[in-house]
């Protein structure tokens, strides 16, 4: 056949390769570096860095954030098996996390005064979680996509109502209801308990334990992915009918994916329960589910390294956005980046920024002259940048009804800017941007609990529109 | 037409004939309430090349799916090499020696050609060197393209990979659903050459084709389906000479 006519899409393929070579910037660099370096080198560097956190800083908060990030990495790795490899939309995933935490708490606390040693309880919980995954995965035999998503979401709902009403299951108090289970045992090693806190501070040993679990799971999954089952999962995800036609037992493969994901989530639950010395129903709910999904999708579903990158980026982002000083940076940089595709020309861009800055000082001066109280408020956060901005942005001492008005006005202004074309767009952008900074400094900035999710959502949308497969995800190719 | 290594007798040649590799016996297949196959009986002997003809929506693909177990017949039996497999899974039937080149090929687009071939060998654990070599000698082009993503191959190349992937199952009987679909006229001829080559290697075949002339020219026997019933069957020569068939399907 080698002498056959050369019809085909070879040209297209060549262009694909070229694009990969040419892709510049940070992401292209990451992709190329990733292609060249062996995976274990990445893992080793990453683990060393993670282990260094308690050495570099004695800040208990940062150590705890590192621990939580490791927890999220484990959860993202598990979800990646179900969603990224199996292609099964499992919205009940956090239920397995919660199941693991609760089972650990029940088997090791004063709730029933049972204290099963760690070495026994962790394998038991992991296996029980995997078994639960098999059961919850059963509907996947008949359902896929959104239908499966709804059914698994319902499973999460069942789990939630069992634990919140679990203080009275046939007359016995199993989960202590909404109050949760307190005084959960710490991890122990042959009778030696590992205290969760050390003179009131986070015990970094827990970070090391979590990293240890992470390495084991990461490497194990790596081998699973390279195995026959891993390959079959990919086939299942791409085309279940073709996979069946190759003799793959797709029902069993789906259950396996569910069981792996659920087992990992349950295992992670034991770490959370032990480090918090308590479990509450609200720790295992839809917000956590969304966060873990955001991590997997942002990193690139199907990629283990992507799940890690996603977990680190999202969790560190969410933590740092708790402080208005940090979220201000993110906000202004996001606005400036957003303007790039709108303007397209560097000259216009600089002109606009300069005009907005000048406009701001002018308005600030006029407002201050009319009534000094209009500019005497303090910006959220109180860092140096925040204080500097207070000389430019209007921050009144008291807001009154301007809060809602400014919000509505901003939306109207943005809509107007979107519809206006040509030179006037540039002109209209100036007050709009200034209004945006007003809304940020007065309304959004002071409420980091809400805005950090808004900002994260905006970043997610931004990244996903530029890279639909996620940061480290594979580009999808369709047969056309 | 080359002689096949195994003796192939026409259907119903008497009790002395060897056990058919595949036999559908009076099969009735439904999709929900819709009755598709109505009393279909057909068999393929070891080493035989049988073609299954019929108009659009006559149930050809459904017949192959029933043979492979992707759909279950409501009544009737499917047997492979004499063993009743009607209630067995697709995996089991493939382990027994069936393989399929599905309609529209259905390659795994984001995987490389090599990975696609590996998928075909799922049931034997990991594919051996001989498995790959068999495919590569048949299709040197597939070897050249082994690290390219399957979704970016040309239609003809995809066809070769689809056949190669099915051969990785080490089949005794290959089911092919419209192997020439979407190929340029020269490539249609090529693909029939490929079919003959695979056949000469001792693999029995059941081929669904729209191109009845071409299909019958290489087949030993043929069946003609019309709205879920076998309306005509016989040796290829017989079918080629049949006036009704000519009128209905060969457009002459
Ligand atoms: N999954 C399904 N559910 C319901 N009806 C189906 C299904 N698959 C096929 N059919 C119907 O069964 C009939 C036979 O389909 P089949 O695919 O076997 O036709 P075919 O002979 O292969 O046709 P073609 O030559 O066009 O491929 C058609 O009327 C089709 O609409
Ligand atoms: Mg068909």
Rounded to an integer, what distance in angstroms lies between the CA atom of residue A327 and that of residue A317? 9
Where b means 16+ CB within 10 Å and e means fewer, A146-158 reads eebbebbbebbee
Rounded to an integer, what distance in angstroms lies between the CA atom of residue A299 and that of residue A315? 12
Q: Closest Cα to residue B38, out of B89, B74, B78, B71?
A: B74
What angle, rounded to 10 degrees, do the helices at A250-276 and A93-107 form? 50
Query: Are both A127 and A174 inside the same structural domain?
Result: yes
Phi, psi (rounded to 5 degrees) for B242:
-75, 130
Residue ranges of B 124-163 with Cβ closer than 8 A to chain A: 125-126, 139-141, 144, 148-158, 160
Query: Are both A284 and A409 inside the same structural domain?
Result: no
Rounded to an integer, what distance in angstroms lies between the CA atom of residue A428 and that of residue A418? 10
User: Which helix (H) or strand (E) element contains residue A210?
Assistant: helix A205-226
Is ligand 1 within 6 A of the CB of residue B104? Answer: no
Residue A1 in any domain: the answer is: no
SS3 call for A171: coil
The string of pLDDT tens digits covering residues B170-223 is 899 999 998 888 777 887 888 888 888 889 988 999 999 888 888 888 999 999
Rounded to an integer, what distance in angstroms lies between the CA atom of residue A88 and that of residue A151? 12
DSSP secondary structure letter of residue B168? T
**Contacts with A460 (C-beta within 8 Å, 6 or more apart), sequence order:** A294, A297, A298
Phi, psi (rounded to 5 degrees) for A2:
-65, -20
Among A133-147, A330-344, B57-71, B126-140, which is the least confidently predicted range? A330-344
SS (H, E, C) B132-163: HHHHHHHCHHHHHCCCCEHHHCCHHHHHHHHH
C-alpha triplet A141, A145, A150: angle, nearest 5°: 90
**Strands B221-226 vs B49-54: parallel, antiparallel or unpaired:** parallel
In the structure, what pLDDT confidence band is assigned to residue B9 with cuts at 50, 70 and 90?
Answer: very low
Contact B110 A474 (CB under 8 A): yes
A172: exposed, middle or buried (C-beta count within 10 Å: 0-12, 13-18, 19+)? exposed
Rounded to an integer, what distance in angstroms lies between the CA atom of residue A352 and that of residue A324? 25
Is ligand 1 within 6 A of the CB of residue B66? Answer: no
Instruction: Quote the tokens at residue A283.
Output: 């720790």
Rounded to an integer, what distance in angstroms lies between the CA atom of residue A441 and that of residue A395? 7
Rounded to an integer, what distance in angstroms lies between the CA atom of residue B231 and that of residue A372? 96
Query: Are both A338 and A249 inside the same structural domain?
Result: no
Query: Are both A332 and A314 inside the same structural domain?
Result: no
Q: Which residues pair with B223 in a beta bridge?
A: B52, B233
pLDDT value of residue B201: 86
Residue B208 CA, ligand 1 centroid: distance in Å:
13
Q: Are B49 and B201 in contact (CB under 8 A)?
A: no
Residues of chain B positioned with their CB less than 8 A from the CB of A246: 94, 119-120, 122-123, 165, 169
pLDDT value of residue A269: 97
State the nearest Cα–Cα gap between A8 and chain B, in angstroms.
4
Residue A79 in any domain: the answer is: yes
CATH number, position A144: 1.10.3470
B170 and A CB contact within 8 Å: no
On average, the pLDDT of chain B sits at: 86
Q: What dihedral angle (degrees, nearest 10) is formed by the CA atoms of A139, A143, A144, A150?
A: -70
Q: Closest Cα to residue A77, out of A316, A291, A307, A310?
A: A307
- What separation in angstroms does the CA of A72 have from each of A3, A177, A271, A311? 54, 25, 11, 6
Q: Are A321 and A459 in contact (CB under 8 A)?
A: no
Residue A480 in any domain: the answer is: no
Query: Are both A278 and A421 inside the same structural domain?
Result: no
C-alpha triplet A353, A355, A361: angle, nearest 5°: 105
Q: For tokens 């949308």, what's the residue?
A: A461
Q: How many structural domains does chain A have?
A: 2
Query: Are both A108 and A249 inside the same structural domain?
Result: yes
Residue A56 in any domain: the answer is: yes
Query: Are both A195 and A279 inside the same structural domain?
Result: yes
Residue A471 in any domain: the answer is: no
Q: Are B35 and B28 in contact (CB under 8 A)?
A: yes
**Contacts with A311 (C-beta within 8 Å, 6 or more apart), sequence order:** A69, A72, A73, A75, A76, A295, A299
Rounded to an integer, what distance in angstroms lies between the CA atom of residue A79 and that of residue A102? 19
Instruction: Quote the tokens at residue A401.
Output: 């009804």
Rounded to an integer, what distance in angstroms lies between the CA atom of residue A300 and that of residue B173? 40
Give the residue on A whose Cα is nearest the Cα of B184: A7
Look at residues A292, A320, A348 and tell me which one is the last residue of a structural domain.
Answer: A320
From the CA of B210, which ligand is nearest? Answer: 1
SS3 call for A47: helix
Give the residue on A whose Cα is nearest the Cα of B115: A231
pLDDT value of residue A8: 38
DSSP secondary structure letter of residue A82? I
Query: Are both A442 and A336 inside the same structural domain?
Result: yes
DSSP secondary structure letter of residue B7? -
Residue A185 CA, ligand 1 centroid: distance in Å:
61
Query: Are both A340 and A300 inside the same structural domain?
Result: no
pLDDT value of residue A80: 96
The string of pLDDT tens digits covering residues B241-252 is 888 777 766 544
Residue B103 CA, ligand 2 centroid: distance in Å:
6
Is ligand 1 within 6 A of the CB of residue B34? Answer: yes
**Could you tell me the domains of chain B?**
40-103+166-250 (3.40.50.300)
H helices present in A371-478, as ranges? 384-389, 402-419, 423-439, 448-466
* DSSP letters spanning A433-457: HHHHHHHIIIIITT-HHHHHHHHHH
Query: Are both A113 and A237 inside the same structural domain?
Result: yes
Residues of A in CB contact (< 8 Å) with B are 1-2, 4-5, 7-10, 12-13, 16, 228, 231-232, 234-235, 238-239, 241-249, 474, 476-479
Residue A44 in any domain: the answer is: no
Phi, psi (rounded to 5 degrees) for B142:
-65, -35
pLDDT value of residue B5: 43
Q: Which residues pair with A169 in a beta bridge?
A: A172
* pLDDT surpasses 90 at B87: yes
Query: Are both A370 and A390 inside the same structural domain?
Result: yes
C-alpha triplet A250, A255, A260: angle, nearest 5°: 125
Ligand 1 atom nearest B65 alpha carbon: 18
Is ligand 1 within 6 A of the CB of residue B57? Answer: yes
Domain that holds residue A342: 326-446
Residue A22 in any domain: the answer is: no
Residue A20 in any domain: the answer is: no
Is ligand 1 within 6 A of the CB of residue B211? Answer: no
Q: Side-chain half-sphere of B162: how many Cα atoms within 13 Å? A: 29
Q: Closest Cα to residue A479, out of B156, B164, B150?
A: B150
Is ligand 1 within 6 A of the CB of residue B61? Answer: yes
Mutate which of B51, B54, B59, B207 for ligand 1 pocket (most atoms within 8 A of beta carbon): B59
Residues of chain B positioned with their CB less than 8 A from the CB of A234: 108, 111, 115
Rounded to an integer, what distance in angstroms lies between the CA atom of residue B204 and that of residue B221? 12
Mutate which of B36, B101, B230 for ligand 1 pocket (most atoms within 8 A of beta carbon): B36
* ipTM of the complex as predicted: 0.86
Q: Give pLDDT tens digits along chain A (480 positions).
A: 343 333 333 444 445 555 555 656 666 677 677 678 888 988 999 999 999 999 998 899 999 999 999 999 999 999 999 999 999 999 999 999 999 999 999 999 988 889 999 999 999 999 999 999 999 999 888 888 889 999 999 999 999 999 999 888 888 888 888 899 999 999 988 878 888 887 888 999 999 999 999 999 999 999 999 898 998 999 999 899 999 999 999 999 999 999 999 999 999 999 999 999 999 999 999 999 999 999 999 999 999 999 999 999 999 989 888 888 888 888 888 888 888 777 778 888 899 999 999 999 999 999 988 888 888 888 887 788 888 888 898 888 887 778 788 888 998 998 888 888 888 888 999 999 999 999 988 888 888 888 888 888 888 887 887 778 888 877 655 544
Q: Is the dihedral of CA A89, A94, A95, A96 positive or negative?
A: positive
**Contacts with A345 (C-beta within 8 Å, 6 or more apart), sequence order:** none
- pLDDT > 90 fraction of chain B, expressed in percent and rounded: 46
Q: For tokens 């790959």, what's the residue?
A: B132
Contact B151 A2 (CB under 8 A): no
SS3 call for B165: helix
Query: Are both A368 and A249 inside the same structural domain?
Result: no
Is ligand 1 within 6 A of the CB of residue B62? Answer: yes
Contact A9 B187 (CB under 8 A): no
Straight-line distance from the first to the last Cα atom of chain B, in angstroms, rounded to the nearest whole number: 23
pTM assigned to the model: 0.84
Look at residues A320, A345, A376 and tell me which one is the last residue of a structural domain.
Answer: A320
Look at residues A291, A320, A349 and tell me which one is the last residue of a structural domain.
Answer: A320
């Amino acid at each position: 056949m080698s002498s056959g006519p050369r019809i085909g899409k070879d040209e297209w393929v060549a262009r694909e390769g070229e694009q990969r070579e040419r892709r510049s910037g940070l992401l292209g660099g990451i992709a190329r570096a990733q292609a060249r370096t062996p995976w274990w080198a990445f893992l080793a560097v990453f683990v060393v860095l993670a282990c260094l956190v308690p050495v570099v800083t004695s800040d208990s908060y940062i150590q705890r954030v590192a621990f939580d990030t490791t927890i999220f990495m484990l959860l993202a790795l598990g979800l990646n098996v179900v969603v990224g490899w199996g292609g099964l939309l499992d919205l009940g995933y956090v239920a397995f996390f919660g199941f693991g935490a609760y089972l650990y708490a029940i088997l090791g606390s004063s709730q029933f005064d049972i204290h099963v040693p760690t070495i026994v309880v962790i394998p038991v919980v992991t296996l029980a979680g995997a078994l639960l995954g098999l059961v919850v995965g059963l509907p996947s035999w008949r359902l896929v996509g959104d239908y499966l998503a709804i059914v698994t979401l319902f499973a999460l709902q069942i789990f939630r109502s069992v634990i919140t009403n679990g203080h009275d299951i046939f007359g016995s108090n199993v989960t202590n209801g909404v109050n949760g289970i307190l005084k959960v045992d710490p991890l122990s090693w042959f009778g030696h308990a590992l205290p969760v806190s050390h003179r009131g501070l986070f015990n970094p040993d827990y970070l090391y334990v979590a990293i240890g679990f992470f390495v084991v799971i990461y490497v194990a999954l790596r081998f699973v992915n390279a195995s026959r089952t891993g390959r079959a999962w990919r086939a299942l995800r791409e085309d279940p009918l073709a996979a069946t036609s190759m003799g793959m037992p797709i029902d069993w493969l789906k259950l396996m994916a569910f069981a792996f994901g659920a087992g990992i989530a349950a295992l992670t639950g034991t770490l959370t329960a032990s480090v918090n010395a308590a479990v509450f129903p609200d720790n295992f709910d839809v917000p956590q589910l969304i966060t873990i999904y955001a991590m997997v999708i942002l990193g690139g579903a199907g990629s283990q390294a992507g799940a890690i990158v996603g977990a680190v980026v999202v969790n560190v982002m969410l933590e740092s956005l708790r402080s208005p000083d940090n979220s201000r940076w993110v906000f202004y940089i996001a606005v400036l980046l957003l303007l790039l595709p709108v303007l397209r020309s560097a000259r216009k861009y600089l002109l606009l920024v300069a005009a907005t800055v000048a406009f701001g000082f002018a308005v600030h001066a006029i407002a201050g002259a009319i009534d000094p109280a209009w500019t005497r408020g303090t910006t959220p956060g109180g860092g140096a940048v925040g204080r500097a901005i207070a000389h430019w942005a209007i921050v009144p001492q008291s807001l009154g009804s301007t809060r809602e008005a400014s919000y509505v006005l901003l939306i109207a202004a943005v809509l107007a800017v979107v519809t206006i074309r040509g030179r006037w767009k540039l002109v209209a952008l100036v007050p709009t941007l200034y209004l945006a900074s007003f809304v940020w400094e007065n309304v959004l900035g002071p409420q980091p609990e809400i805005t950090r999710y808004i900002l994260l959502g905006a970043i997610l949308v931004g990244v996903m529109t530029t890279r639909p497969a996620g940061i480290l995800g594979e580009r999808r190719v369709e047969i056309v | 037409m080359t002689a096949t290594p195994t003796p192939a007798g026409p259907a119903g040649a008497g009790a002395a004939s060897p056990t058919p590799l595949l036999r559908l016996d009076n099969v009735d297949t439904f999709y929900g309430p819709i009755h598709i196959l109505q009393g279909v009986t057909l068999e393929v002997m070891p080493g035989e090349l049988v073609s299954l003809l019929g108009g659009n929506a006559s149930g050809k693909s459904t017949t192959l799916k029933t043979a492979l177990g992707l759909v279950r017949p409501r009544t009737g039996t499917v047997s492979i090499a004499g063993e009743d497999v009607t209630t067995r899974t697709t995996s089991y039937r493939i382990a027994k020696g069936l393989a399929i080149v599905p309609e529209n090929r259905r390659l795994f687009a984001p995987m490389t050609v090599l990975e696609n071939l590996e998928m075909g060998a799922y049931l034997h654990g990991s594919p051996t060197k001989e498995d790959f070599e068999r495919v590569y000698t048949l299709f040197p082009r597939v070897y050249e393209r082994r690290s390219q993503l399957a979704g970016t191959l040309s239609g003809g190349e995809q066809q070769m990979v689809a056949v190669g992937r099915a051969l990785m199952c080490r089949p005794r009987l290959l089911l092919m659903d419209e192997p020439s679909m979407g190929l340029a006229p020269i490539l249609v001829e090529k693909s029939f050459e490929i079919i003959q080559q695979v056949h000469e290697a001792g693999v029995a075949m059941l081929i669904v084709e729209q191109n009845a002339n071409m299909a019958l020219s290489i087949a030993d026997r043929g069946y003609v389906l019309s709205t879920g019933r076998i309306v005509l069957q016989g040796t290829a020569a017989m079918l080629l000479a049949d006036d009704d068939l000519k009128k209905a399907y060969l457009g002459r």
